């Protein structure tokens, strides 16, 4: 009885224990079901999120075939189901497949360092952690990418930015982990790419305008540093772009007299664009210290503190304007001188007639006769003065002849030696095959004599006088550098001395009547004005080159004519004498 009771108690105890175990199992099963439900909900949520993402999320197996791809792939015209089992190259441009496929791209990097900067970026990435693929740019091709479009390598509608990482099965030993495939995200950056391309095209367009505008262009920073310069500015300044951009201040190209004005305008323009003029003139200094006249157009670039400057070189225009004003002045002086000389000549003729009558009416012993002789000499000098004024005003009657200037120079050489004196050495450098000119020999002789006399006075007691003739052909480019010139064939007659020379401000006035640097008793101031008038009347021109202490050269240009030298013309050689 006792044993039965014991067995019964043990059975009850086991039943209770069993019930506890069943309760625990039921609780575990309920908990497991809850976890599974939560997991299903989580997976459902993740899938919903993935499918709602604008980015394309993909998963490919080790061979590169899609095992999953999100609904966003529809931007390429595919349904996700169409691509499952297909190789990733189905949606990637062929050229990009070659560059970003592990099978094709990696062998190219064999034996090369592949640090963070040099590592290849792959669509089917195996790596994880810091070295996984980020920001890989690929071109995506749409489903309707037909055969004709495939022939056009650039026919791509979508740009993608890929981030990818490899995934592996769990394993205790890292090196034995099995590669299961690649997880990746493709972000559509088409709009960004198109915006970048539009920006690039816009920059290129404005760069082209900046470079081909035909004037020097600059972009000037707020601190007056030049950040951008075009080729025309290189040509203007004689500095290379590398020497200018980011290194040169705008003020380095401005002469001292204009510097404060420029700085003031620069400051005011940044306070209010209307406070400073947009267009003004200033003096520009280049690398070789040449001063150039510049018209500046400048304005603030909207939304910045930078200035856009356009520089137009008007140096040659200024010279032409100066020449034109000088020509007008000389013409006005010529008309005035001609009018005075004409009236003066009429009075001289009457005075000369009466003085002749008076002179002839006096006996040789008459003491008044010598006074009348002095009157006649003064009148002769006055007549010569009148003729010089008429020569300047182009009112002489020319007796034109075709001749070779070499002959004329040779004929008056002895007379020139007498004029310049024994202490001055005379050289003649005459071109053997000199072309002919059509001139008045007497007037050209007077030109040479006047210039030789001026040279003598400039050299004082010793020096060298060189008379040279040569044939010259000028084209339009040559005329840019020779004041008053025109294209064509010419004979150039040069008279050069080694005298004291002249300053530029003196040269500007030397052809004006009665202008002279000599003492009053040594000249009338009409010698060079006569030369100017004679050459102008021959439709030629005269240029002067002189510097203080370096002598003076007068170059006279006369039109050549298509005739051979006459029989009197001789081939002459350079000679010199004292």
pLDDT at 435: 92
**Total count of domains within the chain:** 4
Mean of per-residue pLDDT scores for the chain: 79
For residue 450, is it within any domain?
yes
For residue 73, is it within any domain?
yes
Q: What is the pTM of this model?
A: 0.45
CB 68 within 8 A of CB 59: yes
Q: What is the pLDDT of residues 417-444, one digit of tens each?
A: 887 888 889 999 999 999 999 998 888 8
Boundary of a domain, candidates 173, 197, 221? 197
Span 158-178, mean pLDDT?
A: 76
482 pLDDT higher than 60: yes
pLDDT at 368: 82
User: 384 and 430 share a domain?
Assistant: no
User: Please, which pLDDT band fits residue 10 given cuts at 50, 70 and 90?
Assistant: confident
Q: Which residue has the higher pLDDT, 314 or 381?
A: 314
User: 75 and 185 share a domain?
Assistant: yes
pLDDT at 334: 63
User: 293 and 328 share a domain?
Assistant: no
Span 491-515, mean pLDDT?
A: 84
For residue 529, is it within any domain?
yes
Distance between CA atoms of residues 100 and 182, nearest Å: 14
For residue 16, is it within any domain?
no
State the residue range of the domain holding 324: 318-392
- What totals of helices (H) and strands (E) does the chain contain, helices first? 17, 18
Distance between CA atoms of residues 513 and 386, nearest Å: 12
Give 339's strand partners: none
User: Please, which pLDDT band fits residue 568 given cuts at 50, 70 and 90?
Assistant: very low
User: 145 and 186 share a domain?
Assistant: yes
DSSP reduced 3-state for 574: coil
Span 463-478, mean pLDDT?
A: 89
**CATH for 373:** 1.10.287.130
Q: What is the pLDDT of residues 120-159, one digit of tens each?
A: 677 777 777 777 888 788 888 888 765 454 444 444 457 7
Angle at 517 between CA 513 and CA 522, to 5 degrees: 85
Q: Which residue has the higher pLDDT, 469 or 532?
A: 469
Span 397-404, mean pLDDT?
A: 84
Boundary of a domain, candidates 331, 366, 392? 392
User: 61 and 143 share a domain?
Assistant: yes
- Ranked by mean pLDDT, the top range of 389-398, 451-460, 472-481 is 451-460
Q: Which residue has the higher pLDDT, 393 or 37?
A: 37
User: Tokens 């000499």 label which residue?
Assistant: 377
Give 58's strand partners: 69, 184
Element holding 194 (H helix, E strand) = helix 190-212
User: 143 and 268 share a domain?
Assistant: no
Tokens encoding 92: 């990637």
User: 376 and 459 share a domain?
Assistant: no
- Ranked by mean pLDDT, the top range of 3-7, 255-259, 355-359 is 255-259
For 17, 32, 34, 35, 377, the CA distances from 28, given in Å and listed in that order, are 16, 6, 10, 10, 149
CB 65 within 8 A of CB 91: no
Element holding 308 (H helix, E strand) = strand 307-313
pLDDT at 440: 86
pLDDT at 50: 66
Distance between CA atoms of residues 321 and 344, nearest Å: 34
Q: Which residue has the higher pLDDT, 370 or 463?
A: 463
pLDDT at 406: 93
User: Please, which pLDDT band fits residue 105 given cuts at 50, 70 and 90?
Assistant: low
Boundary of a domain, candidates 258, 285, 313? 313
For residue 40, is it within any domain?
no
pLDDT at 518: 62
The rounded percent of the chain whose pLDDT value lies above 90 is 13
- Ranked by mean pLDDT, the top range of 109-118, 122-131, 218-227 is 218-227
Question: Is the backbone of residue 294 left (phi > 0), alpha (psi -120 to 50) or beta?
Answer: beta
For residue 27, is it within any domain?
no
User: 417 and 442 share a domain?
Assistant: yes
User: 119 and 230 share a domain?
Assistant: no
pLDDT at 574: 42
pLDDT at 524: 53
């Amino acid at each position: 009885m006792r044993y039965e009771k014991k067995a019964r108690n043990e059975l009850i105890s086991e039943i209770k224990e069993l019930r506890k175990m069943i309760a625990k199992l039921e609780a575990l099963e309920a908990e497991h079901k809850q976890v599974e439900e939560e997991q299903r909900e989580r997976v459902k949520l993740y899938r919903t999120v993935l499918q709602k993402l604008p980015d394309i999320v993909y998963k490919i197996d080790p061979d590169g075939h899609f095992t999953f791809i999100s609904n966003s792939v529809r931007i390429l015209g595919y349904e996700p189901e169409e691509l499952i089992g297909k190789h990733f190259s189905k949606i990637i441009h062929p050229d990009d497949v070659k560059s970003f496929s592990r099978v094709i791209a990696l062998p190219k990097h064999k034996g090369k360092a592949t640090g963070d900067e040099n590592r290849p970026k792959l669509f089917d990435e195996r790596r994880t952690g810091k070295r996984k693929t980020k920001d890989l740019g690929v071109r995506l091709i749409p489903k309707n990418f037909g055969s004709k479009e495939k022939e056009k390598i650039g026919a791509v509608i979508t740009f993608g930015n890929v981030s990818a990482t490899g995934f592996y099965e769990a394993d205790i030993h890292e090196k034995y982990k099995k590669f299961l495939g690649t997880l990746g995200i493709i972000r559509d950056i088409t709009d960004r790419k198109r915006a970048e391309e539009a920006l690039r095209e816009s920059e290129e367009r404005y760069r082209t305008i900046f470079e081909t505008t035909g004037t020097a262009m600059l972009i000037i920073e707020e601190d007056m540093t030049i950040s951008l310069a075009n080729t025309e500015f290189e040509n203007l300044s004689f500095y290379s772009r590398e020497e200018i951009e980011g290194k040169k201040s705008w003020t380095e190209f401005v002469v001292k007299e204009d510097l404060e004005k420029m700085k003031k305008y620069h400051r005011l323009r940044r306070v209010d664009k209307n406070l400073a003029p947009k267009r003004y003139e200033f003096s520009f200094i280049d690398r070789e210290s040449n001063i150039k006249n510049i018209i500046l157009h400048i304005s603030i670039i909207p939304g910045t503190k930078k200035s856009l400057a356009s520089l137009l070189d008007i140096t040659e225009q200024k010279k032409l304007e100066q020449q034109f004003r000088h020509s007008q002045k000389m013409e006005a002086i010529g008309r005035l001188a001609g009018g005075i000389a004409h009236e003066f000549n009429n009075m001289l003729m009457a005075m000369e007639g009466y003085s002749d009558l008076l002179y002839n009416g006096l006996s040789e012993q008459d003491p008044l006769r010598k006074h009348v002789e002095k009157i006649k000499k003064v009148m002769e000098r006055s007549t010569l003065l009148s003729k010089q004024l008429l020569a300047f005003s182009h009112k002489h009657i020319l007796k034109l002849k075709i001749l070779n200037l070499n002959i004329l120079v040779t004929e008056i050489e002895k007379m020139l030696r007498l004029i310049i004196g024994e202490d001055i050495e005379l050289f003649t450098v005459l071109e053997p095959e000199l072309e002919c000119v059509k001139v008045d020999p007497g007037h050209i002789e007077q030109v040479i004599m006047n210039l030789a006399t001026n040279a003598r006075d400039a050299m004082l007691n010793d020096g060298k006088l060189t008379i040279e003739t040569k044939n010259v052909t000028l084209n339009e480019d040559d005329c840019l550098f020779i004041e008053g010139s025109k294209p064509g064939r010419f004979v150039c007659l040069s008279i050069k001395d080694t005298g004291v020379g002249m300053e530029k401000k003196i040269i500007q006035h030397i052809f004006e009547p009665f202008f002279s640097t000599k003492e009053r008793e040594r000249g009338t101031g009409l010698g060079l004005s006569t030369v100017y008038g004679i050459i102008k009347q021959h439709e030629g021109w005269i240029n002067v080159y002189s510097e203080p202490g370096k002598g003076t050269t007068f170059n006279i240009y006369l039109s050549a004519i298509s005739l051979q030298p006459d029989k009197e013309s001789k081939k002459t050689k350079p000679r010199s004498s004292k």
